[in-house]
Amino acid sequence: MAELAVTVLVFALFFFAFRVFTRLQKEKEETRRRVEEMKSWHMEARKKKVEWNKKIRSAKHLLESAKNWRDPEGKEDFLRELYGGVPQYLFYEISRDLTDEEVQKIVLFFWGDEGGSFGDLERHNSLRVRNAKRFTALLLEEFPLIQAGHCQAWETTDEDGFPEGVVLFSAEGFYPKA
């Protein structure tokens, strides 16, 4: 009887060790798969960043004729070159309250007679325009374009913590500097 108990105990220990070993192997494979996935994601992100910086360097000359960061000279061409058309998000510096007529002009300019969807035009510290059909670097001949980008740009950030794929115009020039 004792021999049977020892035999059963040995088999139970063997079975337990086998289950632990297979579980560890599965976890090791899963970890290896995740590491490969992360490497792939990082490589893709690096490629996108290199492409983005090349686009900026090749389009930077379009901004050279501007007198200062508020000057619209070259901004539209620069952004069309970077984004291949109208960026999904546009931010304008607004220094005063807008009249109803001005808001109507803005809506007609960006979306035509069909108007924008809910949330396509928002006012906070600046005026955010989303999904416009066209754009300008100087809104109503008074308000400069200060930032532009696509929505997926906010998914990743650069080493400064700034969303990749976004352009910011400020007194220091434009960001990112490529």
Mind listing the pLDDT tens digit for each residue in 84-99? 889 999 999 998 989 9
Spans in the chain with pLDDT lower than 70: 151-163, 177-178
What is residue 156's predicted lDDT score, i.e. its pLDDT? Answer: 62
What is residue 157's predicted lDDT score, i.e. its pLDDT? Answer: 64
What is residue 66's predicted lDDT score, i.e. its pLDDT? Answer: 80
What is residue 159's predicted lDDT score, i.e. its pLDDT? Answer: 66
Using omega within 30 degrees of 0 as the cis cutoff, is the peptide bond preceding 176 cis?
yes
Spatial separation of the C-alpha atoms in residues 102 and 158, rounded to whole Å: 36
pTM check: above 0.85: no
Which one, of 134, 130, 129, lies nearest residue 93 by Cα? 129
Indicate the pairing of strand 89-93 with strand 126-130.
Answer: antiparallel
